[in-house]
Amino acid sequence: MTLRSLVFFFIVTSLVSGEDTTPPDSEELDFSQLKIEYIHKPECERRTQKHDVIYVHYTGFLEDGTQFDSSLTTGRPHITQLGAGSMIKGLEKGLLEMCVGEKRKVTIPPHLGFGEKGNGKSVGPGETVTYELEMVEISDGKSPEEMFRALDRDGDEALSLEEISDYMSSQIQSQGAYRSVGNSVEQILDTTFKMADTNKDGVLDMDELEIEKHDEL
């Protein structure tokens, strides 16, 4: 997976889920200060791995124990894809190798969390955060090539802006939010599309997204 394809498909999926669209760093990170505690660890054959789409309940706490975010307030688990860069790095790591029904407590240092600037809202600069997690559901996700082919409705090996927009609308509706893609989302998508369309032909191919093509798919 190249950085370009990762960032592009992350932005597309983030516009569906409403996640922060900060591109992931490619640098090697030190996870030695990441602390994972196992609250409930059932046995299972299927564990979370990269590319999986997961449904997870989470509650985030600041260093003083103040709760700053939780999926439990809506009663619906958060939906995201592992490996898409849509979460802070410590949380992404802390969600790997989990079973359905497993509960963890993950303590994340600033360099794997919200950094020296915080999130500009509830998390302060250089603050360590803790998440309590419960894995609700795991489903197979898509690699960049599989994602590309899922969006490519007419099979012409190229993605139009319309194909991507239609995909996003269908994903939003499948998550229970029966609405169309809003104007602000369309604007972000249009800007992202134009940046990725390096030859300015109005469509995106695998070369432009730096996706390695496999004949078996």
d(CA 170, CA 173): 5
- Fold adopted by 1-21+142-217: Recoverin; domain 1 (1.10.238)
Cα 57 to Cα 213: distance, rounded to the nearest angstrom: 35
107-150 confidence digits (pLDDT tens):
999 999 999 999 888 999 999 999 999 999 998 876 677 778 87
Alpha carbon of residue 134 to chain centroid:
17
Assign domain 31-139 to a CATH class: alpha beta
pTM to 2 decimal places:
0.60
pLDDT per residue as tens digits for the range 64-112: 999 999 999 988 888 888 887 778 999 999 999 999 999 999 999 999 9
Query: What element of type H or E holds 55?
Result: strand 53-61
| Residue spans in the chain of domains classed CATH 1.10.238.10 | 1-21+142-217
For the chain, helix, strand, coil in percent to 5 are 30, 20, 50
